[in-house]
Structure 1
Amino acid sequence: MTTATTKKLPILTDEPSSWEGSSLLSVTQITAAGLELLFRVTQEMRTLVRTHGGDDRLRHTILGTVFFEASTRTSGSFQAAILRLGGRNVHVDGQGNSSAAKKGESLEDTLRCLECYVDVTVLRHPVQGSVGKVVNVCEKPVLNAGDGVGEHPTQALLDVFSIYDELELGENNDKKPLVVVLLGDLKNGRTVHSLAKLLSVSQIWGETLTLRYCAPSGLEMPQYIRDFCDAVPSVQQETCSDLADACRDAHVLYVTRIQRERFESDEAYEAGSYIVDKAFMTNAPPKMIVLHPLPRVDEISTDFDSDPRAAYFRQMENGMFVRMALLALVCGKT
């Protein structure tokens, strides 16, 4: 009996050639120098959009977006990114009745067929490990748009870029210790899993990075994520149950949605939930930015939206610029 071999994932460096034709499954593929390259191209894309609206460097390039879970921001920003660069998009709703999955076709076969028509595929799937299986059989680049409670690498890229940009960490190479509070459902949140890992290896911070975890009981950061971050000597990890205490000297508050359905009762949910509003932020550090992958429900009050520290909509716009840069690099058109 033969066993299937696992395709080796590319390491993405500051050489554009390392990105060209590559799939992105995990943030662990990206070196610190590779991240700097991506950020540089992202800034170029932002300038391009704001001055000219885009260009046609990806003309005749077709992006396939395949989503087996609902998506607004990830799907929309990838589609906008390819259009801004002159390409086209084929979208497949994996949840709909028109999907071949309804006929029992394997995910691998669906994606192998789709890549006959497109140049790059973006895939989101609710089962952890599914995107990895597809990457293993596809010949063209596949970009992970979220796999269950696993990773969401492009979200982490736009999150870290937003931190880098908002805090001006690249200015004069004046890198300082960084304190980031991760708040909410840290057990099931793939965004915080990828963010903690990418921050740990990114080297955008100075002498130390402090990851401060603030989560309701039972929704703490998984041990395997903590073990990964522990392997970086200058990364410190802390657990804090009180949000005000967690934010005392923080530079970033990263808020995630806590899902009511994960609690046995409304009382348990209310006891474990947090609300970031104008009143709370009055006593928070004056330069602490607030990020959120969205969608939000009531964990961030709209009365805080006008505060300059509310960076989550700027964060969402960054998502398009980052994904434009990623597509340009993967297609070898920077």
Structure 2
Amino acid sequence: MLKGKDLIDPKDLSLEEYEEIFKLAEDMMENREKYSEIAKGKILATLFFEPSTRTRLSFESAMLRLGGGVLGFSEAASSSAAKGESLGDTIKVVSAYGDIIAMRHPKEGSAYLASKFSKYPVINAGDGGHQHPTQTLTDLLTIKRKLGRLTNLRIGICGDLKFGRTVHSLIKALARYEGNSFVMISPKELDIPMYIKEELDRIGNVEYIETTSLEEHIEDLDILYMTRIQRERFADKEEYERLKDSYILTVDKLENAKEDMIILHPLPRVNEIDYHVDEDKRAAYFDQAEYGIYARMALIALILGLVSDNGAKCEKSNKEVIVNKEVKCNNKNCITNAETQPFKRIYKIEGEEFYRCGYCDKAIL
């Protein structure tokens, strides 16, 4: 059941729950008036400690289209975080003002932390370079509408795979569908994190290759998911300047691609997709941005219990053993290294000899 549920990680949803969201989102596209007042009297709090255009505005648009209200802030500087307030205290206060929270924060694991302090459901709208599950809902809905299936797909993911939270979430979700395989295209310095590769290995029967060449593999792809090299994630600006133009998709590079391949991008783009590509029928990234409104409308409606989810079953993992021990995480961008309150959540996956941080999922060495 989705009612009252937090969404922190793509794995928080079962495949059955994904289908319920997509079914409702598509009905909302066709019958907007039917859902225009169902959230009357409900309030969404949008807490954006990092800049955002699409995600924040699509959440706000979604709630307004459902007839609800919105409050929040669009940058940390306009919140009491600028005065030194802890994230936990911010969440305790804001959860008294709204009925559901959508939060973006630069620290990994921040969304899980917020869920522990909130009275009401928390939706992760991006936590550092970790996860972005509602972008994944948007991506999957787009794929479903454009290609008619979520199985037996060859997915090329190109650009910043190290810090790309949209990439991490998408891989975790699509790997659960039968027959999908991945071509991971990035500079060596920005390849996919080990914890994502370990997850694919645990799932089993998921083919993936790592490469630095887009042109070499583009003809095999059903989906090309482009991402920008993210300047804000680099401590070394010289390294960013060296890597920022690693991949630029042009019309010429699409000559060998399948006619029915789709091009996705979570946006914003900088220069990794040439503007002439926008005219190609395979370019789906602006439709993708629009579908994000309906994916979030459906998610909000189901979490708030405004519509029935027909009893969609959640999945419980039997592989993770949660231990209530204090975390000493070696990930410098983990929320546990940013605030002073005690953090107690580590876990071990069956077959692994080490523990993982229960906030950012990195190995504790």
Q: TM-score range by the shorter chain?
A: 0.7 to 0.9
1:42 aligns with 2:47: no
1:103 aligns with 2:83: yes
Normalised to the residue count of structure 1, the TM-score between the two structures is 0.87
1:132 and 1:232 map into 2 onto residues whose CA distance is 23
Aligned residue in 2 for 1:27 = 10
Aligned residue in 2 for 1:239 = 210
- Counterparts of residues 154-303 of structure 1 (less than 5 Å): 154-169=134-149, 177-201=152-176, 203=177, 206=178, 208-259=179-230, 264=238, 268-269=242-243, 273-303=246-276
**Alignment deviations for residues 309-331 of structure 1 (CA, whole Å, 9 cap, x no partner):** 00000000010000000000001
Aligned residue in 2 for 1:10 = none
1:230 and 1:308 map into 2 onto residues whose CA distance is 35
Q: CA deviation at 1:81?
A: 0.2
2:240 and 2:165 map into 1 onto residues whose CA distance is 24
Q: Which amino acid aligns with 2:167?
A: V
2:240 and 2:100 map into 1 onto residues whose CA distance is 44
1:265 and 1:108 map into 2 onto residues whose CA distance is 34
Unaligned runs of 5+ in 1: 1-17
Unaligned runs of 5+ in 2: 308-365
2:212 and 2:52 map into 1 onto residues whose CA distance is 31
Aligned residue in 2 for 1:310 = 283
Contact 1:216 1:273 (8 Å CA) reproduced:
yes
Q: Superposition RMSD on alpha carbons, in Å?
A: 1.7
**Alignment deviations for residues 81-135 of structure 1 (CA, whole Å, 9 cap, x no partner):** 0000100100223422x41112221111111111111000111000001111110
Q: 1:302 to 1:233 in 2, by over 3 A?
A: same
When structure 1 is superposed on structure 2, of 23-32 and 234-243 the one drifting more is 234-243
When structure 1 is superposed on structure 2, of 115-124 and 52-61 the one drifting more is 52-61
Contact 1:182 1:253 (8 Å CA) reproduced:
yes
Aligned residue in 1 for 2:70 = 89
Q: CA deviation at 1:301?
A: 0.7
- Counterparts of residues 63-74 of structure 1 (less than 5 Å): 63-74=44-55
2:30 and 2:241 map into 1 onto residues whose CA distance is 48
Identical columns (%): 39
**Alignment deviations for residues 133-184 of structure 1 (CA, whole Å, 9 cap, x no partner):** 11012120010000011100100111111112110117xxxx5x21000100
Contact 2:43 2:71 (8 Å CA) reproduced:
yes
1:218 and 1:269 map into 2 onto residues whose CA distance is 9
Q: Tell me the matched-pair count.
A: 304
Contact 1:78 1:323 (8 Å CA) reproduced:
yes
2:229 and 2:241 map into 1 onto residues whose CA distance is 14
Q: CA deviation at 1:44?
A: 1.0
Normalised to the residue count of structure 2, the TM-score between the two structures is 0.80
1:95 and 1:106 map into 2 onto residues whose CA distance is 12
Q: Which amino acid aligns with 1:184?
A: G
